[in-house]
Homo-oligomer: A and B are copies of this chain.
């Protein structure tokens, strides 16, 4: 029986305490400047004008004061501890100043200055030296090459950035790898009235991890949703487990992410921008999905999806009730609802009856409810009362188009009332921009998410449904089977010692056997007679394959024979095979013997694979064999280790999953066996970091109850 490993064995170390970074009592701005338009001046202005509640020390030996704050010539002239140092001096000076600050007891830094990894050459060396210093002294450094850090909480009001101004306080925490994008986000947010809690542009992240920043936002009571822009990630399993923690439990918070580099071209652009190699997008897609992070594709989608979380209520399911005063937008909402993966339920009989009784005859009482263009707020109240009470409805969307009779503000009040008494999420869709603006303000001020158009609203509601489902989705343990780990270690040691990083089939099969995979019966025979008796034992028909440490392309040298039915055939084949291989590869080729394998009855062919990404970790792959994987690219990826339910998810993820369920009267395939193979594979690659790449091709799967069987496998080790 498999054991389960406790989560704790695998979780991340406790987060670094980042509170002094976000809520420092005192800040030194090193490189503060009087020159308007300079970065050193912009940061001072933002701190002072933004209403920072602590003490700021501008450090500038040439100025007497900046914005009325008395300057000090250097940090040693400051007579109290400095919680946070913000550096805006040229790159070559950074290292010395950080060291001097650390000497005085400062542990938290924001390095705004550029001139590090992103410029290559000496910049890379400079960055490495700074990283070493940070590690040695246990420092947290945001940046270099960043916009800075904001904490908009009223008790702190710190704007330690050179952005154009302070954002309004709001429910969204944001971390971003791009500083320039931050300026654009802040400007957009100002325009549409979005506020932030904490805002970090982390730049080259020389000595701070995304996971620590994420945990700092997760721990902040003002942050209701975490937004994230990244160009590359690393340490896949740690990232996944941190996000799993943040997105589960009583204080679960959603994480929404833009991860660029989706395309090869984008990844190349990211590499040349950040100076780091981004992995292929499959890895990130897998990691973000496994982490429960809602991946979005654009800034608009990021803000739209965040908007629904201003109301922390989560829907109990996917069933969406819609109330509208116009048919066309109702149809648009219906399409968008279904295409976003949600449901448009039938109302219960009493709801229909109540609506029919109270609404005019021309109204449509089915979902979406159409209260008709001349509806005023009273009719909306009737509809919302009935629909919100319906047991078939998990969440509501209210569409208001600005028609002649529409009393927009009163309708907005009705929506806010409904939000307050009803236990289900409700979203407003005030269609338009100008005439509806007052209504939108009313909704926003009461914490009702508000959208201009039904498509955006539905997309965001679907994101919330996905999040709600994710939080309900249990974090099952990682399975740990009893396996022959030591035996596998020995095989790897021997093979590597012999200079063989590509394991031949025989050795690969042994490894999989030690990890408890069902393997096609096989034996290594070193003579024709031995082959014949092995075959007899295994049972006919058999397959024979030459085995030797250097013989990789067996078919090409006459080293494979199929469908052998008798001992005589096996004997003859053995001798012919040895002769052919010697003839084609040279007399002195090392031959271990001939692998005699049972010829498996036909079943569905499956491919399992793993390739280890140097930054993110081992990426598992699952697909059907042949054209499905090669031509149709219909495969699923996950980062190992995978939890129990993830193996099943992975199998269901492929488009051609239907073929495993059985089409045209076929029996369903034994998906459970495949799932167990995936879990064992996850354990194998997690416990053996020397495996660089492997595949099982094919794994033959039989109808339910009849299992699966590894027919061939390949392993490549790290040299």
Contacts and interface: CB of A to CB of B under 8 A. Distances in A.
Given A178-B327, A327-B273, A630-B663, A262 B335 contact: yes
With a 10 A CB-CB cut-off, give which of A119, A261, A273 has the most chain B CB atoms.
Answer: A273
Nearest to A343: B265
A119 to B, nearest CB: 6
Contacts of A339: 262-263, 297
A70 to B, nearest CB: 25
Interface string A249-284: 000000000101111111011101110000000000
Contacts of A336: 298
With a 10 A CB-CB cut-off, give which of A176, A192, A335 has the most chain B CB atoms.
Answer: A335
A268 B185 CA distance: 40
Interface stretch (A12-20, A208-216, A402-410, A639-647): A402-410
Interface string A563-601: 000000000000000000000000000000000000000
Nearest to A373: B180
A402 B329 contact: no
A187 B436 contact: yes
A184 B403 CA distance: 8
Contacts of A297: 339, 455
A325 B180 CA distance: 8
A525 B401 CA distance: 70
Given A298-B456, A431-B187, A455-B298, A328 B178 contact: yes
Interface in A660-704: 663-664
A631 B624 CA distance: 15
A455 B262 CA distance: 13
Given A335-B261, A453-B298, A401 B180 contact: yes
B39 A404 contact: yes
Contacts of A326: 178-181, 184
A337 B265 contact: yes
Interface string A366-382: 10101001000000000
B659 A433 contact: no
A452 interface: yes
A474 interface: no
Interface string A319-353: 00000011111111011111100001000000000
A37 interface: yes
* Total identical chains: 2
Contact of A37 (B405, B433, B456, B631): B405
A1 interface: no
Contacts of A269: 327, 330-331, 334, 368
A104 interface: no
Interface string A183-224: 111111011100000000000000000000000000000000
A403 B453 contact: no
B631 A328 contact: no
A432 interface: yes
Given A37-B404, A401-B181, A632-B655, A627 B432 contact: no
A183 B408 CA distance: 13
A113 to B, nearest CB: 13
B338 A263 contact: yes
A557 interface: no
A420 to B, nearest CB: 27
Interface of A: 37, 39, 42, 114, 118-119, 162, 164, 176-181, 183-188, 190-192, 229, 231, 258, 260-266, 268-270, 272-274, 297-300, 325-332, 334-339, 344, 362, 364, 366, 368, 370, 373, 401-405, 431-437, 452-453, 455-456, 626-627, 630-632, 655-656, 658-659, 663-664
21 contacts: A37-B405, A164-B402, A176-B328, A180-B403, A181-B401, A183-B402, A183-B403, A183-B432, A184-B402, A260-B332, A262-B335, A262-B339, A263-B334, A268-B334, A269-B334, A269-B368, A299-B332, A299-B455, A300-B455, A627-B658, A627-B664
